[in-house]
Amino acid sequence: MAELSTIARPYAEAYFQVVSIDATKTETASNELKSLVAISQVPEVREAMADPRLDKVQRAELFLSLVKSELSESSKNFVRLLVDNDRLLLLPEILEHFEQLKNAKEGSAACVITSAFELTEDQLRELTAMLEKKFGYKLKPVVKVDNTLIGGVRVTVGDQVLDTSVQGQLVRLHETLTAI
């Protein structure tokens, strides 16, 4: 998977450079990329993009014809570039890198909060405020529920993990006791 990420990064950076001139273009490009990713994940589309009977121009036009909303010229050109270089199926990885670049420019970061129980709006707001102070970013939280945590939360921001769950504490206790 790291190899795909390595290949996708320059495409994301180049596309980000083209659209990041204006914040509204960046947000539009992000939404357009999300639409393109959704289309690229359809099994029939993946098959069609690998069909050797279609040349690159036909593949690009077929793919672009599947997009429901109007795409910017930058996005259309980006799709054509990806098709020309046989990289269209890297769209999910490209989107991931693009979002990281967008968040970095905004001074924010994606945050996955995994909780043992559903969080109320007040709990989420309070937790997010505490986490923003700790990590130094404006966080965009996504909440998941995992009852195997028993209690507490596990927070992932980029490659940093803060695990205050009961399950995490039990694992650390087990490691400590078996190391003796």
Does the structure show a pLDDT above 90 at 179? Answer: no
User: Class for domain 1-103, per CATH?
Assistant: mainly alpha
Does the structure show a pLDDT above 80 at 39? Answer: yes
Residue of 93, 63, 95 lying closest to 77 (CA atoms): 63
Q: Check residue 24 and give its pLDDT.
A: 82
Mean pLDDT throughout 86-104? 94
Mean pLDDT throughout 56-67? 96
Does the structure show a pLDDT above 60 at 17? Answer: yes
Cα–Cα distance, 9 to 58 (Å, whole number): 26
Q: Check residue 21 and give its pLDDT.
A: 85
Does the structure show a pLDDT above 90 at 97? Answer: yes
**Residues, the chain, total?**
180
Does the structure show a pLDDT above 80 at 1? Answer: no
Mean pLDDT throughout 39-44? 96
Tell me if 140 sits within 8 A of 152, measured CB to CB. Answer: no
Mean pLDDT throughout 125-129? 96
Q: Where are the domains of the chain?
A: 1-103, 108-179
DSSP for 87-99 reads -GGGHHHHHHHHH
Q: Check residue 65 and give its pLDDT.
A: 96
Q: Check residue 2 and give its pLDDT.
A: 59
Residue 60's pLDDT band (cuts 50, 70, 90):
very high
User: What whole-number percentage of the chain has pLDDT above 90?
Assistant: 88
Mean per-residue pLDDT over the chain, rounded: 93
Architecture of domain 108-179: 3-Layer(aba) Sandwich (3.40)
Helix residue ranges per DSSP H, the chain: 2-19, 23-40, 43-49, 56-65, 73-84, 91-106, 121-135, 166-179
Question: What pTM value is reported for the model?
Answer: 0.77
